[in-house]
Structure 1
Amino acid sequence: MFLSRLTVDVTSRNFRLDYADVHQMHRTVMSAFPDLDVQRTARQHCGALWRLDEHERGFVLLVQSRLEPKWAALPADYLAAPPDVRSLDPFLRLIAPGRKIGFRLVGNPTRAIHPPDSVSGNRGRGKPVPQRLPAKQVEWLARKGEQHGFVLPVGRDGQADVAPAPRPSLHGRTDGNKITIEPVRFDGHLVPTDVEALRAAVLGGIGRAKAYGCGLISLGPAREAG
């Protein structure tokens, strides 16, 4: 697995166009894999996940992939520094049962809304709508942990050791359909309960909107309490 760190040139016209249309950003990310057709199945085939993180001078685009990317395909004005591409293996080696690990995830917490006339037991998945309350966002992440082999440890305040923060809404269009996503960034700690399940979640992403900047979970050493 590869992890690319791309320092974006915020003056780039091409980046600004991508920033305004999350589907176009997805296409730009997938341009690093020129031998694949730019479709969602291609994203899954190469294991591509991406996330746009702010830093002191603008943005860093993180891209994780199973195939080695070819960033020479980017427009000449897109990056402010050469791409930094490295192996994901050192981060995967952090995963051990019971070990406290720092993490960051931009997720798409949602809940299902069913029509009032739907029949119990035959309701389907329902329409996903954003979870906007921080407590509900943490509950969403805790449920994902149950599915993906981790728990959220308790912090000094007696609450789950994670801080949810809303990110700017993502907008775009694909095939004439409007895209609107309300992402949430989670920073905190987790403790693995199932090494293989958590490893699969790191490789495959967590939650919805994986093609559109959500789902990539970054792992790192546990941070000292301040």
Structure 2
Amino acid sequence: MTYLSRIRINPLRAQSRTLLANPRAMHGAITGGITGTPEDERILWRLDADNPHRPHLYVLTRSKPDWTHLVEGAGWPDADGHHAAVRDYTPLLQQIATGREFAFRLTASPTQNTHAPNKPTPAQTARLATETPDKRPRGLRMGHRTAAAQLHWFLTRTEKWGFTIPDSRTDQPAPGLVPSTPHPVADKTPPWEPNPARDLRITERRRHSFTKGGKGPRITFHTASFEGCLRVTNPAAFTNSLLGGIGPSKAYGCGLLTLAPLPERKG
């Protein structure tokens, strides 16, 4: 069985400030609510801070969690209201069918593999130097940093994830504005438009940088939060994307795709 949880975070508490600033610390706090071992779980999580005064943490787990420690240390343990809602994920999975449309939200870490980074670190330079005519090291994983590249990364992979993004339902562009390429193709060279005519938008872009336990090499990655409408094309692949996550950096709050009913459209 699978469960989706939503936990309210109080950003004014000391523990909350640590968790909100460090994805590794948040991951540790989340695993503390799981009875099984990390090897038995595929934990996905995402922090939504649209309202900085009321951030919400979403967590997908295989076993039923207990978030008492998070509510007591980083929430409002004595206030009114539901501080940690835990729901069975099965009813949503049963709604997955070809052609079904949902509103969605996803925070992901768009990346590419390259053997020629623009500004390699000393460690990357040393790794690339091991290349020989008979042995080529695996490409370096580099984060996409621009909105255009992040959108292109997303749009060229949706079919693999089991869905597509419908065309935008907004009005036609004003005279003189040329619509963007409607169907980006993976691995094609630019140009591509930063705002494709799809029902999709980036709501937040961030750079994360931290160390493990305050020591050791620094972990740095870039994220983009996507929102819009999707249409299911392959229910099996789409279910795998929901349960297994999308893209890298899942331990640090990336990859959780959440769905909601589409709002009523006035016609």
TM (norm. structure 2) is 0.74
- Report the CA distance shift for 1:94/1:171 in structure 2 as closer, same or farther (over 3 A): farther
Specify the code of the residue in structure 2 equivalent to 1:183: T
Query: How big is the shift at 1:15?
Result: 1.3
Q: CA deviation at 1:162?
A: 0.6
> Pick from 133, 150, 153: which aligns with 1:140?
153
Fraction of identical pairs, as percent: 32
**Structure 1: which 5+ residue stretches go unaligned?**
37-41
1:64 aligns with 2:60: yes
Alpha-carbon distance change, 120 to 15 in structure 1, aligned in 2, over 3 angstroms = farther
Alignment partner of 2:73: what SS?
coil
Q: For residue 99 of structure 1, what is the amino acid of its counterpart? A: R
2:90 corresponds to 1:52: no
Deviates further, 202-211 or 9-18 = 9-18
Distance 1:206 1:125, change over 3 A: farther
Q: Distance in 1 between matches of 2:110 and 2:217?
A: 21
Q: How many residues align?
A: 220
> What is the aligned partner in structure 1 of residue 211 from structure 2?
173
1:182 and 2:222 correspond? yes
Aligned counterparts of 2:99 and 2:142: Cα–Cα separation in 1: 33
Residues 5, 61 of structure 1: 8 Å contact kept: yes
Q: CA deviation at 1:55?
A: 4.2
Higher mean C-alpha deviation, range 60-69 or range 127-136: 127-136
Q: Distance in 1 between matches of 2:158 and 2:138?
A: 20
Output the CA distance in 1 between the equivalents of 2:257 and 2:144.
Answer: 19
> Which residue number in structure 2 is paired with residue 202 of structure 1?
242
- Per-residue deviation at 1:163? 0.2
Deviation above 4 Å: which 4+ runs of structure 1?
116-125
Aligned pair in 2 of structure 1 residues 20, 95: CA closer, same or farther (>3 Å)?
Answer: same
Aligned AA (1:216): L
Q: Which residue of 2 aligns with 1:163?
A: 201
Hey, what's the Cα distance between the residues in 2 that align with 1:13 and 1:58? 15
SS at match of 1:74: helix
1:14 corresponding residue in structure 2: 15
Q: What does residue range 207-226 of structure 1 map to in structure 2 within 5 Å?
A: 207-225=247-265
1:142-166: CA deviations, max 9, x gaps? 2331222111111135612110233
SS at match of 1:9: coil
Q: Deviations over 1:178-222 (max 9, x none)?
A: 112211000011111110110011001000000000000001122
Distance 2:209 2:227 in 1: 23
Q: What secondary structure is seen at the aligned counterpart in 1 of 2:74? A: coil
Matched residue, 1:192: 232
Instruction: Please list the CA deviations of residues 49-105 of structure 1 after superposition, one character each: whole Å capped at 9, or x if unmatched.
Output: 110002433200111101111212337231125311111123323321012221100
Residue by residue, what CA displacement relative to the aligned partner does 1:21-59 show, whole Å, maximum 9, x if unpaired? 2111110111111442xxxxx1x6312111000243320
The two structures have a TM-score, normalised by structure 1, of 0.86
Gaps of at least 5 residues in structure 2 are 77-81, 118-127, 173-178, 180-196
Q: Is the 8 A contact 2:93 2:239 kept in 1?
A: yes
Q: Please state how far the C-alpha of 1:132 moved relative to its aligned partner.
A: 2.5
- The secondary structure found in structure 1 opposite 2:236 is helix
Counterpart AA for 1:58: R
Distance change in 2, residues 1:99/1:181 (3 Å): same
